[in-house]
Amino acid sequence: MSVDFIILAAGNSSRMKSSLPKFFHTIAGKPVIRYAIDAADACSYGGRTVLVTREDLQHSEHFSDTTVVIQDKPLGTADAVKCALNELHSEYTIILCGDMPFITTKHLATLINSSAENALIAMKLPAEFQNMPYGRVVLDNGKFERIVEYKNAIDAEKAITLANTGVYKIRSDLLKKYIHRIEKNAVSGEFYLTDIFNFIAEVEVAKSQDYEAFHGINTMQDLAKAEAIMQNELRQKFMASGVKLIDPSTVFFSHDTVIGPDVVIEPNVIIGVNVKVGAGSRIYAFSHIQDCTIAQNVEIGPFARIRGNSSFADGSIVGNFVEVKGSVVGKCSKVKHLSYIGDTIIGYSSNIGAGTITCNYDGVKKHKTDIGNNVFVGSNTTFIAPVTVGDEALIGAGSTITENVSSNALSIARARQTSYENGAEKIWSKKGKIYSESEK
């Protein structure tokens, strides 16, 4: 059996009150639309995934691996599906909405594996959500009768607790045959895809208790709720795998975060996309980490900022108020205090003193700094990239390094200190600011 997927993502997102379409807002660092696309792609039943969207969204990077068709005007879900008909080549078509981040291959498989040729998923509304404006699935003696849109429902229909999820399985030949018979709704002026079931004799209803899986993202409140649910799921997953979260509710992960066992994460840590943390490492409080690989037994933070495809070898340490961008910190090397390390490679067992800065940007281009093995860099050193420091070199505190430093060299690059005996007294006398003992 081959299956195509149609994902509907042409809505105007007006209730979001945002210039960014709802499909591109992120949950755990992943755009909302990618959850639906990835769930469909993972099923891989020999068909293709077709995304229906607006013209101004068609070139989004989030759609680069998906067949995209355009709905010129927002004339309803049936009209959106019509736009995709020429791309359907499989025996069956599964249709879903692009704003459901919790839908999974398991939910889609419920339809795919159903013996029924035409089916839909209906969710049981929890008591607190009885007034949600979902379409209602009307049954007659337990069998499907019709779907009524909430805005068209009478009070008795609104009281039905079985809601439409917008996820359907339809035999492709029937979809192509009957979708053109759907008439414009008199109330909304739209073409409702749900009306296609008026022409199909046998429709199976797969009932689900998983309300959250089918809850769409339409408002900022929906987005915040989905983020909270996703973060809680990630926290539980990591703790179950041996990660210690001292205050779980204050730690935030991304959908692709990978963490080994015996990692400790202190409160108020944010982990962005593309982060891997090796076993036994510790992330101290108030650190922000993204796009990096952290090996085993590494210490990061507190108040550290990591980004730009950085990596940290076993036993390395990045301390408080340190920012690392696009750099490599070698095995057992330390950058412990108040430093910026950008576009830099640090070898093993090197020590970078407090206040060290790699000046990697000249206003036009980024440049590299290469610091070797067993190097000691004194505090408040400034490296003017591009520059290379050889193994076992020693850099004096307060130096500004503009030229390469060879291995085993001692390099001191700072202005010579000059002191004048009683010089301060002479200057203060001229300014009339000699303080008396009482004023002190």
* C-beta separation of 180 from 196 below 8 A: no
pLDDT band at 401, cuts 50/70/90? very high
Query: b/e map of 122-145 (b: 16 or more CB within 10 Å)?
Result: bbebeeeeeeeebbbbeeeeeebe
- Looking only at the bridges linking them, the beta strands covering 204-208 and 143-148 are unpaired
Q: Model confidence at 435, in pLDDT bands (50, 70, 90)?
A: low
Q: What percent of the chain shows pLDDT beyond 90?
A: 81
pLDDT, position 258: 98
This prediction has a pTM of 0.90
Q: What is the pLDDT of residue 131?
A: 86
Structure tokens belonging to residue 202: 């046998």
Residue 413: the pLDDT is 95
Which residues are known to be catalytic? 337
Give the model confidence (pLDDT) of 273-305 as tens digits: 999 999 999 999 999 999 999 999 999 999 999
More confident of the two residues 96 and 1: 96
* pLDDT per residue as tens digits for the range 164-186: 999 999 999 999 999 999 999 88
The residue assigned the tokens 């390099």 is 411
Q: What is the mean pLDDT of the chain?
A: 93
Between CA 215 and CA 134 the distance in angstroms is: 10
pLDDT number for residue 11: 83
Q: Which of 227, 256, 257, 262 is nearest to 244 (CA)?
A: 262
Collect all residues with Cβ–Cβ distance below 8 Å to 299 and sequence separation of at least 6: 281, 282, 284, 316, 317, 318, 319
Q: Which residue has the tokens 């910026």?
A: 340
Span 337-367, pLDDT tens digits: 999 999 999 999 999 999 999 999 999 999 9
**Residues written for the chain:** 440
Within 10 angstroms of residue 225's Cβ, the number of other Cβ atoms is: 15
Average pLDDT of 301-326? 98
| Structural domains for the chain | 3-220 (3.90.550.10), 241-326 (2.160.10.10), 351-417 (2.160.10.10)
**Residue 169 corresponds to which amino acid?**
K
pLDDT at 60: 85
Q: Which two tokens stand for residue 216?
A: 């769409």
pLDDT number for residue 437 = 53
* pLDDT at residue 423, rounded to an integer: 83
b/e for 418-431, b at 16 or more Cβ within 10 A?
Answer: eeeeeeeeeeeeee
Q: Band the pLDDT of 438: cuts 50, 70, 90.
A: low
Q: Where are the alpha helices (DSSP H) in 83-141?
A: 105-112
